[in-house]
């Protein structure tokens, strides 16, 4: 079986390097925009940082100048895990096992962030994706935010409903009071499939 895995490992390594390269290029933009948007959301009170964890290379600082060296390292990592993977019956390293770590004010978000902070980080990511689309495709994306306001404080709600520009934005919410600071735009109430402008 290990002999059969050799050709599969080579394919996994080659494609894995390509995917990692593309991901890290995209990630560089994403983390820059997300940090800026998160800072605006919190009026500079909190700082969002992100890092990409590669299960193969153990870092996001990967030098893609020497692809042959990366390929060898990838194969070695796969071979090193072979015995464990044979027992588990799945691969423990590769692009499907990579992850993104989030930090708010230097602390791991998964361990210490509040629901509001997690919502804010997710929102910053979505708005960053919209910004990347806008810059790359020279188009104004449609942004749909479903019930994003419920766990945000007044300051963050105010930013969301009044400072998202250069996009067509639809925000749904369950509490009309969440829109109390809305300065521009329109509000509708929907009931039994009927939309009524407020």
Give per-residue pLDDT as tens, 50-68. 999 999 998 888 989 999 9
Q: Which structure tokens are listed for 6?
A: 């050799």
Question: Who wins on pLDDT, 71 or 175?
Answer: 71
Model confidence pTM above 0.85: no
CB distance 8 to 91 below 8 Å: no
Task: Tell me which H or E stretch contains 144.
Answer: strand 142-146
pLDDT at 153 over 90: no
Q: Is the pLDDT of residue 3 over 80?
A: no
Per-residue pLDDT of 127-150, as tens digits, reads 999 989 988 888 888 989 888 887
Residue 97: pLDDT band (50, 70, 90) is very high
Q: What is the pLDDT of residue 2?
A: 66
Q: Which residues of 47-65 are buried (b: 16+ CB within 10 A; e: fewer)?
A: ebbbebebbbbeebebeee
């Amino acid at each position: 079986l290990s002999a059969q895995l050799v050709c599969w490992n080579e394919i996994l390594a080659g494609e894995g390097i390509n995917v990692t390269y593309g991901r890290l290029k995209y990630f560089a933009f994403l983390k820059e925009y997300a940090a800026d948007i998160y800072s605006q959301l919190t009026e500079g009170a909190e700082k969002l940082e992100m890092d990409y964890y590669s299960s193969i290379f153990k870092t996001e600082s990967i030098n893609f100048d020497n692809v042959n060296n990366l390929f060898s390292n990838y194969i070695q990592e796969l071979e090193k895990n072979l015995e464990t993977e044979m027992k588990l019956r799945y691969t423990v390293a590769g692009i499907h096992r990579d992850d993104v770590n989030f930090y708010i004010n230097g602390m791991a978000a998964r361990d210490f962030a509040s629901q509001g902070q997690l919502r804010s980080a997710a929102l910053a990511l979505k708005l960053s994706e919209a910004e990347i689309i806008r810059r790359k495709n020279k188009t104004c994306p449609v942004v749909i935010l479903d019930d994003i306001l419920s766990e945000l404080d007044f300051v963050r709600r105010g930013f969301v409903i009044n400072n998202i520009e250069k996009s067509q934005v639809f925000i749904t919410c369950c509490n009309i009071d969440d829109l109390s600071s809305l300065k521009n735009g329109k509000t509708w109430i929907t009931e039994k499939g009927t939309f009524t402008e407020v």
